[in-house]
A = this chain, B = another copy of it.
Amino acid sequence: MARDKGRRGGGRAGAAARRGTAALQQMPWRIPQNIDRPIEPLTEEGVAAIHDGAMRILEEIGIVFLNPEALEILKQAGCRVEGDLVRMDRAFVMEMVGKAPDQFTITPRNPDRTIPIGGNNLLFGNVSSPPNYWDLDLGRKVAGNREQCRNLLKLTQYFNCIHFAGGYPVEPVDIHASVRHLDVLYDKLTLTDKAMHAYSLGKERVEDVMEMVRIAGGLTDEEFEATPRMYTNINSTSPLKHDYPMIDGCLRLVRRGQAVVVTPFTLAGAMAPVTMAGAVAQSLAEALCAIALFQYVRPGTPCAIGTFTSNVDMKSGAPAFGTPEYMRATQMTGQMARHYGLPMRSSGVCAANVPDGQAMWETSNSLWAAVQSGTNMVYHAAGWLEGGLIASPEKFIMDCEVLQQIQRYMQPEICATGPDEIAFDAVREVGNEGHFFGIQHTQDRYATAFYQPYLSDWRNYEAWEAAGAVWTPERANKIYKDILQEFTPPPLDDALHEELKDFVARRKSEGGAPTDF
């Protein structure tokens, strides 16, 4: 019986997918492969020029590392260190970057959810870190809380098109900052079984999260360290600076064999040159010097290079997202990431404040740019509004419909050209009259031939009107509530669950983490 279940549904992930079918019919868990050739806007000379720009920044201007340990290590490594300013030669940078693997895996507590990062793998994660929350019922922006965070984590778990858990899907500011990481990681590890993230915000948080991930996975220290079980994502402080806690957190993860994503946030015209090639070159310099450090500390440590290069609205100074310039910067960075042999991270983003048409064209632009750039990890792929300041469950539901379509788009069978797909006999059978609905060739394939939406309404206007004339965000609102209602957490061994609770209780009794950041 148990074997039967496993065979039909593909183990635990399959069981979760089956549980999901009541609220909506979604696509199964899979690791999408990007089968398209990337869009490459740079010539060979362009690649060389941006590389040279990044290298000259590292050689001639230098990067500030506000982390004494990093300064010490880089001095040992032969870099020129003056105060907290580090200059490194391109030979050193390229030698170190060359040690980074072009692909690695992260294995969460459910091994069926293991994700391969690099190559053609195209993975999506939930929105991370908005301090605020918006939904249709509230109709306004409010500070995030734990319940909202838990709800968004349930969506993260529910959707098979979401492959990894990012940072907090909304910042639960109702939990004191000293123990917030304990409560949210407890929620994350009990509500989801997907790959986990730790914020690099001080020693205690990073160590606590690593310990909680180890406990929930039922792992010994050796097992935890044998292969990446989680990751962190850090930003530089553009221009040309790495802060203490970000580097500290990475070093802690690196030394225990965990994965690191380095994502400078370079807004062209504000923290980076107004020209996109300059902003990309600066972003690369900021990322590569950190990756070089991590590779020096532990050669072969799994690293991905991130991009968050967009532009500001020159009228207001507000950041813009999903713009033409954003798309090209993402594609250029993808081209450079392949040049360096590094897995690539980008994002699903928009500037819109509510889940309307603007939100979807900006998000579509950014998601297609991720696809076209050969991105491996798409951060913030579901739920993001207002330049990342708002998380929204309606937007989450809408974005997952787009993500599913991208995943379906990447299935090579759509473009298969064997005799069954050319279907000459079917065309002959129907001839110059009649239709294809009833013929066997159609009957054999109709159930799986096309993408089946769960949110898009394809009815004609009259049928749509008769059903209440419901616009997309209202439909999404209903779906997210249906999902929450039927949500069942993924299985977690009772003993491990108890151990996790005990750890949280003990660390809380010890006061959690300092809050002087």
Contacts and interface: CB of A to CB of B under 8 A. Distances in A.
Given A422-B49, A449-B268, A456-B362, A39 B40 contact: no
Interface stretch (A276-284, A294-302, A374-382, A494-502): A276-284
A437 interface: yes
Contacts of A456: 351-352, 358, 362
Contact of A417 (B42, B85, B359): B42
A138 interface: no
Contacts of A61: 427-428, 431-432
Contacts of A358: 360, 455-457, 472
A36 to B, nearest CB: 5
A332 B415 contact: yes
Contacts of A415: 41-42, 46, 276-277, 328, 332
Q: Interface majority SS on A: helix, strand, loop or mixed?
A: mixed
A146 interface: no
A70 interface: no
A45 interface: yes
B353 A356 contact: no
A488 interface: no
A356 B472 contact: yes
Contacts of A167: none
Contacts of A134: 461
10 contacts: A53-B427, A61-B432, A268-B436, A269-B436, A274-B442, A276-B421, A324-B409, A328-B415, A354-B469, A361-B361
Given A141-B465, A358-B472, 4 more contacts: A43-B417, A61-B427, A274-B441, A354-B471
A98 to B, nearest CB: 23
A21 interface: no
Given A275-B421, A358-B457, A325 B450 contact: yes
Contact of A85 (B324, B354, B432): B432
B457 A314 contact: no
B60 A428 contact: yes
Interface stretch (A226-234, A253-261, A315-323): A315-323
Contact of A389 (B271, B325, B461): B461
A23 interface: no
A450 B437 CA distance: 49
Contacts of A411: 324
Contacts of A363: 361
A80 interface: no
Interface residues of A, number: 131
B445 A275 contact: yes
Copies per assembly = 2
A161 to B, nearest CB: 13
A426 B360 contact: no
A375 to B, nearest CB: 16
A148 interface: no
Which of A312, A415, A421: most chain B CB closer than 10 A? Answer: A415
A41 B417 CA distance: 11
B36 A272 contact: no
A405 interface: yes
Contacts of A359: 357
A41 B369 CA distance: 18
B368 A422 contact: no
Interface in A321-353: 323-325, 327-328, 332, 351-353
Given A41-B415, A414-B276, A271 B436 contact: yes
A64 interface: yes
B461 A325 contact: no
Nearest to A36: B39
A517 interface: no
Contacts of A428: 60-61
Nearest to A43: B417
Contact of A449 (B49, B274, B405, B441): B274
A409 B39 CA distance: 12
A208 interface: no
A401 interface: yes
A426 B268 CA distance: 12
Given A389-B461, A461-B389, A275 B416 contact: yes
B271 A435 contact: yes
Contact of A270 (B85, B282, B408, B435): B435
A361 B360 contact: yes
A63 B356 contact: no
A115 B314 CA distance: 33
Contacts of A436: 239, 268-274
Interface in A81-123: 85
Contact of A461 (B57, B390, B426, B432): B390
Interface string A238-258: 011100000000000000000
A353 B421 contact: no
A446 B451 CA distance: 43
